[in-house]
Amino acid sequence: MPIPKDTIAAISTPLGEGAIGIVRLSGPDTYKIADRIFSDRHPEPFSQRDSYQLYHGFIKNPQTAEFLDEVLTTGMKAPGTYTGEDMLEINAHGGILVIQRILELVLQEGARLAEPGEFTKRAFLNGKMDLAQAEAVADLIRARTDLAKKCALQQLEGGLSCKLKVIASELLDILAELEAHIDFPEEELPPQLYERDIQRIESSSRILEDLLLSARYGKAIREGVRVAIIGKPNAGKSSLLNRFLEEPRAIVTETPGTTRDTITESVSIEGIPFLFTDTAGIRETSDPIEQEGVRRTEAAITKADMVLMVMDSSQPLDSQDEDVLDTLKKYAPSACLGILNKSDLLSHPVIEKDKFQELIKTLVPLSALTGEGIKELKKLLVDTIKQGEVTDAGGELILTNVRHAELMGKTLADLQLTRESMSSNLSPELVAADLREALHHLGEITGEYITGDLLNRIFSRFCIGK
Amino acid sequence: MTETTTSQYDAIIVGAGHAGIEAALVCARLGLETLLVTGDYKTIGQMPCNPAIGGLAKGHLVREIDALGGEMGKATDATGIQFRMLNCSRGPAVWAPRAQADKYAYMDYCRKVLENTHHLTLAEDMVNGLLFESLREPPAESLYHHRILGVKGESGIEYYGKNVIATTGTFLNGLIHIGLESTPAGRIGEKPALGLTESFIALGLEVGRLKTGTPARLAPHTINWDILDIQSGDEPPPPFSHFTRKLELVQEPCHLTHTNEKTHQIIKNGLDRSPLYTGVIKGKGPRYCPSIEDKIVRFADKTQHQVFLEPEDRARTSIYPNGISTSLPLDVQLGFIHSIVGLEEAEILRPGYAVEYDFVPPHQCYPTLEIKTVEGLYIAGQICGTSGYEEAAAQGFMAGLNAALKLQKKPPFILDRSQAYIGVLIDDLVTKEHHEPYRMFTSMAEYRLLLRQDNADLRLMDFGHQFGLIPDDFYREFCHYRSSLDVEINRLQNTRIKIPSPHPHNAGEESVSLEQYLKRPEVTYVQLAEKDPASGEIQYKLKQQVSIAVKYQGYIQRQITQATRFKELESKRIPESLDYNKIISLSKECREKLIKIRPVSLGQASRIAGVSPSDISVLMVYLHHRV
């Protein structure tokens, strides 16, 4: 059994942001390492100190005696920790560079760099959390914006489990009635009313549907929405991108694209990370390059969740526009917005909208130059992702896990079957078979065997027995 | 003075109730020299509670025992006085046969079958201790600490045997309560079994205490039958046994009456003298079989409860009032019974009572029902914490069969949860912890739609025949029936008929296969025969089975898929001697549970309360690396 014998370490705060960063260790050698690199006014080794106590001191490289940073550290003793192992958290203040050097020092002293999600994996293996919690934590690790963190935290605290438990309880009540009628045909039980049960199942289904619809939104929050900005040169792609980047706080990272000529910028709009890929910089002077431009546009479209086709609305469509439209037609992306740029130049755009309205349903007049229409575009982008399914992330539970979404989809299908069986007035054991399947899938989300207390429900609700 | 029987038996069965009878018969029929010891020769096969066999899930168990070659179904058919198929308005999966038996005829039948079985010896003695030896060197890879040697009786005789199957019912330190009076007894008027519990404790086993109860018995001639509703048997009476072709009998009716608010008031006034409500009774009683005082306290808003008046025998020498089990004092019993319509003048032949008894929690058993730490010692029936004649018979049969198989050095016979109610029953017993007497319900069977009473033979008769418990000629007949199922389904698929088109704009006829036609909810073989005379020739059992297969195909297929998934985890074995303390990633609670239950497979482990899916993944990884 690969019971973790080594000690792992990682930076557990997002890189690049904020002045404080945390280096976290977990495993049997945690305190040995801590004693070597951390010094303060307390003489006793870490293993003899109190758990969950903050100690103020310094990180020094024991081999070179080099001073790295002034820090606060907290030791947490097994098994009452997140991973179930000995843990240490070093809160450093010196910015990203210093934090990385502290991590290197820890690794030099015998720790191993944690794989993504390895803390959670250990917590899971040590029986510290159920499946839903573990998966929510895994999402937390990947969470890139505040909203995503909020979602993940909600699930972690059992928001999802709690909501599902309410549904499971309602379904179990219905099942208990069905079962009582099956197993005790000689008893004088209140009649089973399928019409009423159908209504109860419908309201449970609605809650599940809301959760499921949020799954799409959840994916966007976790992984970011890839938006390709396409269009002929000088249509205003770069200006549009710059408009998005205008608010400095919105900039999260800036990474060069896979080729020199595409740029991907990450921008957070209403908490959703949008990754804009600009195909700008394509030089279209000779035929071979032009082909290259088409190829890049194609690549950008196929990788994108959403496409923004930028056009100069002050001019009629030209052959370059037609080329881009042809490419677009070929791939027919599901979400495509047409940007009618340079709306400031003419009060009545001369561009022939009817030529592409089939292809592009939504058109946004905008001036990248003046910023007019940008606000509307941003709202449209967010709305497209939310699709009106989740109105507000505040307080609403958002499903950020693909497995959860899948199981919930199955549960909903089972409930649909259950309702149909009831509508066709099928015998209760058949209806129960459908309903049990729903409960089974619901239970898989939290990793619990939900039907365990079925008998309790039957006997507490019905007076049964000779 | 201690006397010793000269012979050493292959198997000794302690107790001749429903578990003991099946255990003794299966052992003897498999050729084991078998001794059945009963405390009272006159009460073999006694029905100490209601005189009925079957019902939901219980009827299924009896059909399964019968398909495997057990006796209970035949005994019921031979001695029943009323037969019904419950739940006929529902689907076939939850139909269940139930019969009122003549309890005296039933006892007579059982005793005669035992007496006429080769290799079986009967003895009347009250067993008061187990004989066993400690193993100085327990066999490797096993949990055995002791080996059973036999039993000793109060007569002073020691009986030696290689296997002992304890089926002691409610006799272990039995204590009967009527009001605040308590008397040591196994059943009313019968001595308790003392000393045996101490043997189990000496073997290092955990022992618990349970409670059950029974109503008063009434004198038939003092009941005003004329004003009561009648409940009659089905015509024709549906038999239990696969071997019974047709039942011919005059059926006896049951009658129905109800308690009323006056009844409830009398009971409430007597609660201060109830052993249940004054804390005299310590054992846990079953919630599904509450006493009338329990029903009135827990469901105070119900203004009446039904009472079935069931004859205990064809001669109607006494009446069992089903629904008013009680341990209230005799004067309160009389008072509330007289408040019930039709029972105003009823005389009590025997008071109702509660009985407390010791049981040996069955998580200490393998799925063969052998005690894990005591080689050769098996338990079955109420000693395992179950209730019901059928549950007891099923365990007795399986314990006896497995003792025989082990002696013959053959692999154990364990049914899983997708094969039989028997599998569900025993898996629940050895896997879960029980705090009340366990009764079988269909809701406990995950694969209920597969485990029907109508296909018990299709599920199990091959096994019964393989063990030599189903006669060859009968088995040949069964095999013919089984192959004709495929033939008939084939015929239905390949015979086309013309029916009026359901589409109004399409005035003509449309052609469908008989199978497609039969799938319609309103269509049965009656309608098939109207279109296709050959369908009218099909024999009843075949028609029934084929109809179910065709009509419920979707549901059945789904459960087969589920059962296949289930078997995957079931087939992952856990070595007996696995040291759970070495797996540090398991949670403390889980480790304790695993050490206590010692599951034989990952599937069984996953059903233990307190074992989480993450624990199962840890176990899975550990086992994978260990191999």
Number of alpha carbons in the 13 Å side-chain half-sphere of residue B58: 23
Instruction: Give the nearest chain B residue to A190 (CA atoms).
Output: B302
Task: Report the complex ipTM.
Answer: 0.89
The domain defined by B217-353 carries CATH number 2.40.30.260:
yes
Neighbours of A416 (CB within 10 A): 15
| Strand partners for B210 | B284, B357
Name the pLDDT band for A398 (thresholds 50, 70, 90). Answer: very low
Number of alpha carbons in the 13 Å side-chain half-sphere of residue B178: 19
Q: Is the pLDDT of residue B468 over 90?
A: yes
Nearest CA of chain A to the CA of B191: how many Å?
A: 26
Nearest to A188 among B306, B444, B622 (CB): B306
pLDDT in tens, A276-296: 887 744 444 445 555 666 677
In degrees rounded to 5, what are phi and psi of residue A340? -90, 90
pLDDT in tens, B292-306: 999 999 888 899 999
| Residues A50/A34, Cβ–Cβ less than 8 Å | no
> How many residues in chain B?
627
Neighbours of A463 (CB within 10 A): 18
User: What pLDDT score was predicted for residue A14?
Assistant: 57
Nearest to A459 among B288, B613, B626 (CB): B288
Name the A residues in 237-256 with CB < 8 Å from any B CB.
none
pLDDT in tens, A306-328: 888 888 888 888 887 887 888 78
pLDDT in tens, A115-127: 666 777 777 777 6
Structure tokens at A273: 């990370």
Quick check: bond before B237 cis, omega within 30? no
* Residue B41 at interface with chain A, using a CB cutoff of 8 Å: no
| Strand partners for A73 | A55, A90
Name the pLDDT band for B192 (thresholds 50, 70, 90). Answer: very high
When pLDDT is averaged across residues B200-219 and rounded to a whole number, the result is 96
Q: Is the pLDDT of residue B163 over 70?
A: yes
| Residues B524/B548, Cβ–Cβ less than 8 Å | no
Residues A120, A152: Cα–Cα separation, whole Å: 13
User: What pLDDT score was predicted for residue B522?
Assistant: 87
B625/A2 CB distance under 8 A: yes
Contacts of A447 in chain B (CB under 8 A): 612-614
Structure tokens at A281: 């910089």
Q: Is the pLDDT of residue A104 over 50?
A: yes
User: Lowest-confidence range among A321-325, A454-458, B387-391?
Assistant: A454-458
Helix, strand, coil in percent for chain B, rounding step 5: 40, 20, 40
Strand extents, DSSP E, B383-531: 496-500, 509-513
B615/A131 CB distance under 8 A: no
Structure tokens at A410: 């199955």
Question: Would you identify the CATH topology of the domain B483-564?
Answer: Arc Repressor Mutant, subunit A (1.10.10)
Residues B560, A285: Cα–Cα separation, whole Å: 66
Residues A321, A324: Cα–Cα separation, whole Å: 5
Contacts of B614 in chain A (CB under 8 A): 124-125, 127, 129-131, 134, 447
Strand extents, DSSP E, A36-136: 38-39, 53-60, 67-76, 87-92, 112-113
**pTM (2 d.p.):** 0.75
B441/A1 CB distance under 8 A: no
Residues A175, A260: Cα–Cα separation, whole Å: 61
Residues A412, B524: Cα–Cα separation, whole Å: 33
When pLDDT is averaged across residues B139-152 and rounded to a whole number, the result is 90
Name the pLDDT band for A192 (thresholds 50, 70, 90). Answer: confident
Helix count and strand count (H, E) for chain B: 19, 23
Contacts of A5 in chain B (CB under 8 A): none
Residues A308, B92: Cα–Cα separation, whole Å: 60
Nearest CA of chain B to the CA of A3: how many Å?
A: 7
The domain defined by B3-213+357-466 carries CATH number 3.40.50.300:
no
* DSSP H or E segment with residue B83: strand B80-86
Return the sign of the alpha-carbon dihedral for residues A342, A347, A350, A351: positive
B157-166 vs B3-14, strand pairing mode: parallel
Per-domain residue ranges of chain B: 3-213+357-466, 217-353, 483-564, 572-626
Name the pLDDT band for A11 (thresholds 50, 70, 90). Answer: confident
In degrees rounded to 5, what are phi and psi of residue A344? -75, -20
| Residues A340/A363, Cβ–Cβ less than 8 Å | yes
Instruction: Give the nearest chain A residue to B86 (CA atoms).
Output: A185
How far, CA to CA in Å, does A202 sit from each of A424, A427, A457? Answer: 16, 20, 21
A173-199 burial code (b ≥16 CB/10 A, e <16): ebbbbbbbbbbbbbbeeeebebeebbe
- Average model confidence (pLDDT) for chain A? 75
Nearest to A1 among B86, B590, B621 (CB): B621
Name the pLDDT band for A392 (thresholds 50, 70, 90). Answer: very low
Question: Would you identify the CATH topology of the domain B572-626?
Answer: DNA polymerase; domain 1 (1.10.150)
**Domains contained in chain A, CATH given:** 8-128 (3.30.1360.120), 159-216+399-461 (1.20.120.430), 223-386 (3.40.50.300)
* Residue B94 at interface with chain A, using a CB cutoff of 8 Å: yes
A127/B94 CB distance under 8 A: no
B443/A124 CB distance under 8 A: no
When pLDDT is averaged across residues A92-100 and rounded to a whole number, the result is 72
User: Lowest-confidence range among A456-465, B271-280, B310-319, B475-484?
Assistant: A456-465
Instruction: Give the nearest chain A residue to B288 (CA atoms).
Output: A465
User: What pLDDT score was predicted for residue B211?
Assistant: 93
Q: Is the pLDDT of residue A129 over 60?
A: yes
* DSSP H or E segment with residue A212: helix A194-223
